[in-house]
Chain A
Amino acid sequence: MERIPILRMGQFLLVTIQVDMHDRLAVQLQDDLTQRISEWSSRGVLIDISTLEIVDSFIGRMLANIAAMARVLDAETVVVGMQPAVAITLVELGMSLAGVRTALNVESGMELLYELRGDFHSEMSE
């Protein structure tokens, strides 16, 4: 079954969502991420949704779940690149994704992750 690839960048994981996900794919991503975070003791997850043209309540909940589960595993999550039209629609839909950190793009997102969880010493020693 197709899966969304998860890249490892040192202590952090990078996920780029480029396809119009159907629900099962989204659930699979949640499972895979929690698996990997725990396997690799990742300290942060960057989810790039800059090419996602819609985020409905299911995807929204997926993002919130990922952030919550990651936190339990001591990892921070940053969602980056939400398109303006998507943000406006999500807000109208009634979702605020309050527990999810956000940034404008991958660069800012990585900066934020480093600020929050970056620990260069332990990265070097891996």
Chain B
Amino acid sequence: MKSGRQETVPIGNSADVVLARQKVRQWAIEMKFTLVDQTKLVTAASELARNALEHGKGGQMIIEQVENSAKNGLKLVFEDRGPGIKDVEAALRDGFTTGGGMGLGLGGSKRLVNDFEIQSEAGKGTRVTVVRWK
């Protein structure tokens, strides 16, 4: 995967989560993603940024334009130095919620993107990398 320009957005409070959403929206519009794809990306970013804030006690998001053989894509990396996730498998599992369940929104975010990768270790923080291809 080739990398292009990138931007880093710190996530320290809930206003940053909103900023993160807006930044991702800007990038997605520039890259001419369809409206539905934009919405999916921005929503995934919102979920993951919030996670980094709430669960990870703050961190950052790195936006990057990437290329893969013939496709263009947008890559988002969410990093935090929080407590990490002990059971990643369980965190990814979820069913249809009616809005009552808690969950980390990880499983849902996974469905909104094409590539999803998560690295987390108890006590060592978490890093989630997602890519949406055009």
Contacts and interface: CB of A to CB of B under 8 A. Distances in A.
Given A54-B42, A85-B39, A88-B39, A95 B99 contact: yes
A64 B100 contact: yes
Interface string A36-63: 0000000000000000011111101101
Interface of B: 14-15, 17-18, 21-22, 25, 35-36, 38-40, 42-43, 46-47, 50, 94-100, 103, 105, 107-109, 111-112
B21 A97 contact: no
Interface string A65-101: 1000000000000000000111011001111111110
B43 A95 contact: no
Contacts, number: 87
A32 interface: no
17 contacts: A20-B21, A21-B18, A23-B14, A24-B14, A54-B39, A56-B47, A57-B99, A57-B103, A58-B46, A63-B99, A64-B99, A85-B36, A89-B36, A89-B39, A94-B94, A95-B97, A95-B108
Given A54-B39, A56-B46, A89 B112 contact: yes
Contacts of A54: 21, 39, 42-43, 46
Contacts of B17: 22-23
Given A20-B18, A64-B100, A93 B36 contact: no
A23 B36 contact: no
